[in-house]
């Protein structure tokens, strides 16, 4: 066996009201001038003003020019705001987009050039040589788990191609995971982000990489999501269900340091070509990719069926897991096909060449349980339309 390296270092404060501990935490670290990085939606809610008020004794500024999939210009705008405020810390407050931008702002606060020059696949990738500002994260959705991740996904403003900046330096120094921040999420967003969390757990478990610690976390994360995702959508103020989904989201993001699979390659292509919400794209594509994976991952998919309570009298089989996914999507209002989705524009067969180009180039499918060729992606997308 080869020598493997494992690390689970993130400090997490989890539970209702955790956000109220942020001020004392920052003061204990000697922080005086934090910059809050959030999105336009959060900025328009009383939540932001209430959170700022809880940071009594600190000089706080906010940058909120973020919306949709995070792009390079948003990062550089945030870095300009950081310098203008003479900030000494970054607080990421929001969903995956805001948290990814917050991490990238921390990078650009102490580094030169363009944020995309730090992407792992840049031809002359620049290293993160300098220390980053103190960074903490408060998620307001339960999907990406970006608050516990060591990467930031940022798109080019023009091409919309997603690039991944990866480094342990991007890990939050502390996470304040407060499920009360998710109570007012609309049902559609709860469903889409919940499918994102579930997909992270599923694909991490199915990845052939060796990481038993992540396997255990992923299975439990899938079990928790199966128990509570429907309830969180139907009963948005059910705090127990919201807590479960926030935990499942973090568990999925911790587990996917083991890597992901072809569902995410498809989703990244859909976000690029059709500007489709990432969680929704995962939700639409997951059962289509699982059918493709069936013969390569029968035992593991049968274990997932057992964990989520699928199969009934016929037993927990790989096929039962796929059937469970289809039923879950129907219950949550996740479209079964790309042609039925309600994103910014329809996806049709004419989009397949562009989708396949991006999916093939995406790194995630390299750890899919079954190798995926260009022709395979063509068939998967065609079957999903």
- Measured CA to CA, the distance from residue 364 to residue 367 in angstroms comes to 6
Q: Is the pLDDT of residue 340 over 90?
A: no
Which residue in 14, 368, 16, 344 sits closest to 180, CA to CA? 16
Positive or negative, the Cα torsion across 288, 292, 295, 296?
A: negative
Ranges of each domain in the chain: 12-182, 187-384
Q: 46 vs 341, which has greater pLDDT?
A: 46
- Measured CA to CA, the distance from residue 96 to residue 92 in angstroms comes to 10
Q: What's the CATH code, domain 187-384?
A: 1.20.1090.10
Fold observed for domain 12-182: Rossmann fold (3.40.50)
Positive or negative, the Cα torsion across 284, 184, 307, 209?
A: positive
**Residue written as token pair 């890597």:** 259
Q: Is the pLDDT of residue 17 over 60?
A: yes
Task: Tell me how many degrees the CA angle 312-313-318 measures, rounded to the nearest 5.
Answer: 60
DSSP string, 168-216: GGGS-SEEEE-GGGGTT--HHHHHHHHHHHHHHHHHHHH--S--HHHHH
Establish how many alpha carbons lie within 13 A of residue 244's alpha carbon, considering only the half-sphere containing its beta carbon.
Answer: 21
Q: Which two tokens stand for residue 142?
A: 């339960």
Q: Is the pLDDT of residue 341 over 90?
A: no
Each residue's pLDDT tens digit, 211-263: 999 999 999 999 999 999 999 999 999 999 999 999 999 999 999 989 999 99
- Measured CA to CA, the distance from residue 140 to residue 64 in angstroms comes to 14
Judged by phi (left if over 0) then psi (alpha if -120 to 50, else beta), residue 94 lies in: left
Which residue in 288, 108, 310, 280 sits closest to 198, CA to CA? 280
Residue 286's pLDDT is what? 98
Residues, the chain, total? 385
| pLDDT (average), residues 101-119 | 96
State whether residue 166 is helix, strand or coil: strand
Confirm if 377 and 351 have CB atoms less than 8 A apart.
no
Each residue's pLDDT tens digit, 66-93: 987 899 999 999 999 999 999 999 999 9
Torsion of CA 294, 302, 332, 240, to 10 degrees: -150
Q: What percent of the chain has pLDDT over 70?
A: 97
Instruction: With cut-offs at 50, 70 and 90, classify the pLDDT of residue 1.
Output: low
| pLDDT (average), residues 279-294 | 97
Each residue's pLDDT tens digit, 143-172: 999 999 999 999 988 888 888 899 999 999
Residue 344's pLDDT is what? 63
The phi, psi pair for 65, rounded to 5°, reads -85, 60
Host H or E run for residue 163? strand 162-166
The phi, psi pair for 261, rounded to 5°, reads -160, -160
DSSP one-letter code for 14? E
């Amino acid at each position: 066996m080869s020598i493997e390296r494992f690390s689970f270092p993130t400090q997490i404060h989890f539970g209702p009201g955790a956000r109220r501990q942020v001020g004392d935490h920052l003061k204990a670290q000697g922080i005086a001038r934090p910059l809050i990085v959030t999105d336009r939606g959060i900025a328009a809610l009383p939540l932001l003003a209430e959170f700022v008020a809880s940071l009594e004794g600190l000089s706080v500024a906010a940058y909120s020019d973020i919306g949709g999939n995070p792009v390079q210009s948003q990062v550089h705008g945030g870095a300009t705001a950081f310098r203008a405020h003479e900030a000494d810390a970054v607080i990421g407050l929001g969903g995956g987009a805001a948290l990814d931008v917050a991490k990238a702002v921390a990078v650009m606060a102490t580094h030169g050039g363009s944020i995309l020059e730090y992407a792992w696949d840049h031809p002359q990738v620049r290293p993160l040589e300098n220390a980053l500002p103190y960074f903490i994260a408060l998620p307001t959705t339960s999907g990406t788990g970006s608050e516990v991740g060591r990467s930031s996904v940022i798109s080019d403003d023009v091409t919309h191609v997603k690039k991944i900046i990866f480094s342990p330096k991007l890990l939050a120094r502390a996470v304040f995971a407060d499920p009360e921040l998710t109570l007012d999420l609309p049902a559609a967003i709860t469903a889409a982000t919940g499918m994102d969390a579930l997909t992270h757990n599923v694909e991490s478990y199915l990845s052939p990489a060796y990481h038993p610690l992540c396997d255990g976390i992923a299975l439990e994360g899938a079990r928790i999501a199966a128990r509570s995702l429907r309830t969180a959508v139907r009963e948005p103020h059910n705090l127990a269900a919201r807590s479960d989904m926030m935990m499942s989201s973090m568990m999925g993001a911790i587990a996917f340091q083991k890597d992901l699979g072809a569902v995410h390659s498809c989703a990244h292509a859909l976000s690029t070509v059709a500007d489709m919400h990432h969680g929704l794209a995962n939700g639409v594509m997951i059962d289509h990719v699982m059918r493709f994976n069936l013969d390569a991952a029968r035992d593991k998919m049968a274990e997932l069926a057992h964990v989520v309570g699928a199969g009934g009298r016929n037993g927990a089989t790989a096929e039962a897991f796929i059937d469970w996914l289809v039923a879950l999507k129907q219950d949550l209002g996740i479209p079964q096909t790309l042609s039925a989705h309600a994103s910014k524009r329809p996806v049709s067969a004419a989009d397949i060449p562009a989708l396949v180009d991006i999916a093939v180039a995406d790194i995630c499918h390299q750890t899919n349980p079954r190798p995926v060729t260009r022709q395979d992606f063509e068939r998967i997308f065609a079957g999903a339309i």
